[in-house]
Each structure stands twice: as C-alpha cells, then as structure tokens.
Amino acid sequence: MGTVITFDVYNESGVAPEAFLPYLQEAVAVLHHADKVFSTWKANSPLSQLRRGEISLGEAPPEVAEVLELCMVAKASSNGWFDPWALPGGVDPTGYVKGWAAQCALAELVNARVTGAIINAAGDIASFGDLGSEAPFRVGITDPAAPPTLACAIELRGAVATSGAYERGEHLVDPFTGEARTRAASASVTGPDLGICDAWATALAVGGGEVLELIEKTDNYEALMIGVDGSRQWTSSFPFAQLETPH
C-alpha cells in the first residue's frame, strides 16, 4: 500500500525553488518517520509491536504516547464515536496519525517563508497561508456518488479531512456495535488541526447526525455530511465557496 502525498507551494514572496528544497526534505522526513513508527503495515513498527504486546508504551517512541493521548481527547470529545481502541487487533490510531503527521510535516514548511502551502495526504489536507493577496485557498470536496467530480468547494484556512465509506482499504467500524458500518457516504471536517479533523471526520462518518451536532458545538471546527442518498447536512459555519469555472 502506498500513501500519496502532494505538496502545493504558493510563492508570491519569490522564494527560489532551490531554497525551498531543504524544507521539503524535512517535511518528507517527518512523514517517513511517522510511517516508520506508526505503520500497521510494517510488522516491526513500534505501533505493531505495541499492538502485539511485545513492547510497552513506555518502551515505544514518545510520539506514540503523544498520539494516543491526542486520541483519548478526540474519543472523549466525540462521545466515543472516534475510538481507536475499538478496532480489532489492538489500538489503531491510523485515522488520527495520517492527519497528525501531515500537520507536523506542514510545520516544517512554515520557515520557508512562502506565501502558502498545502499538503494533501490522500485527501486529508493541511495548509497555512493563502494564494497571496489574502485570497484563500479553495478546495473541492469529492462527490461520493460520482468521484472524481466535486460535490462542492470550500474556502480553506487550515485543514480539512474527509472520511467515507468509499475510501479504499479503510474499514470504519461502529465502536459501539463492532460492525463495519457508516452513516454517511462522505464526512468532511474543517478546522485548524488536521489530526483533530481526521478524528472528527471518522467519527462523523460512523456516527452521523449525533456527531454533526457535537461538531456544531465545537469552536473552530465545521462539518459537511453527505448521505448515501445524496442528502447533505452541514454545520452552520461550514465554509462553502462558490464552485466556479474560471473565465
């Protein structure tokens, strides 16, 4: 399996591409390090060893405990709809790690002094800055009924994560019943931190309307849920943008 990461860097400030490369290298290193530590596809990653009980949390790299702590917060905030401990095979924070790692990688690019940057890790997006002249990033959200066409566009300041039944290779499990089921075809959450968005999007895809209400009450995070029947529900400040074609 491979995770595709794209970096889009916007450079109104005139940074030369060569000057940017060292920052890119650092960002890529962060991603690879996270993959090395957390990949459940790697038999000897610290997380895999932890899951098999071969090492204790104290013996694992400190970022494992850090991520699991963040997962505890997300589980509590989502009333248990995001629950990495409810998955078969032992604790699996993968749904949080993808966003967390991308957010960490993005932090490496901030000092490059570009106008803005977007990291897209298989559909989970972290960003800082903008297009320049204060024009915000615009991000499309895939229509789950007809990919790759778009359901809508949003103005992005920060991060957006999308979870859904149509994702390849992901099994979203209802943590209360243990069944693989989703209540939304697609669940997108925007906010400042991609790891948190990731957790909320997972919770929303599984928990549906109840989770949407929780997000409505959560400062700085907004959500859009698209049902299998195409119906849409969203929190009151979800940052819709016009889906337009340039002339």
Task: Kindly identify the residues of this chain, within the stretch 24-43, that bind other proteins according to CB under 8 A.
Answer: 24-26, 28-33, 35-36, 39, 41-42
The H or E element containing residue 125 is strand 124-129
For the chain, the first-to-last Cα distance in angstroms comes to 39
Interface with other proteins, residue 44, by CB under 8 A: no
State the minimum distance, in angstroms, from the CB of residue 24 to other proteins. Answer: 6
**Selection from 175, 192, 191 nearest residue 183 by Cα:** 175
Q: Taking every pair of C-alpha atoms in the chain, what is the biggest distance, in angstroms?
A: 59
State the minimum distance, in angstroms, from the CB of residue 192 to other proteins. Answer: 4
Q: Which two tokens stand for residue 52?
A: 């098999």
State the minimum distance, in angstroms, from the CB of residue 228 to other proteins. Answer: 13
Residue closer to other proteins, measured from CB, 91 or 196: 196
Could you give the CA distance from residue 122 to residue 2 in angstroms, rounded to a whole number? 10
State the minimum distance, in angstroms, from the CB of residue 137 to other proteins. Answer: 5
Could you give the CA distance from residue 215 to residue 165 in angstroms, rounded to a whole number? 20
Determine the 3-state secondary structure of 25 from DSSP: helix
The H or E element containing residue 140 is strand 137-142
Could you give the CA distance from residue 129 to residue 92 in angstroms, rounded to a whole number? 32
Could you give the CA distance from residue 51 to residue 74 in angstroms, rounded to a whole number? 20
State the minimum distance, in angstroms, from the CB of residue 91 to other proteins. Answer: 18
Q: Restricting to residues 51-70, which ones interact with other proteins according to CB under 8 A?
A: 63, 66, 70
Could you give the CA distance from residue 189 to residue 125 in angstroms, rounded to a whole number? 10
x-marked contacts with other proteins along 77-116 as a string, rule CB under 8 A: x----------------------x--xxxxxx--------
Among 81, 82, 128, 234, binds other proteins (CB under 8 A): 234
Could you give the CA distance from residue 202 to residue 186 in angstroms, rounded to a whole number? 10
Q: Restricting to residues 146-165, which ones interact with other proteins according to CB under 8 A?
A: 147-153, 156, 160-162, 164
Interface with other proteins, residue 212, by CB under 8 A: yes
**Selection from 161, 151, 145, 155 nearest residue 201 by Cα:** 161
Interface with other proteins, residue 120, by CB under 8 A: yes
x-marked contacts with other proteins along 169-198 as a string, rule CB under 8 A: x----------------x-x--xxx-xx--
Of 50-58, 86-94, 174-182, 209-217, the window that binds other proteins (rule: CB under 8 A) is 209-217
Interface with other proteins, residue 72, by CB under 8 A: no
Residue closer to other proteins, measured from CB, 4 or 43: 4
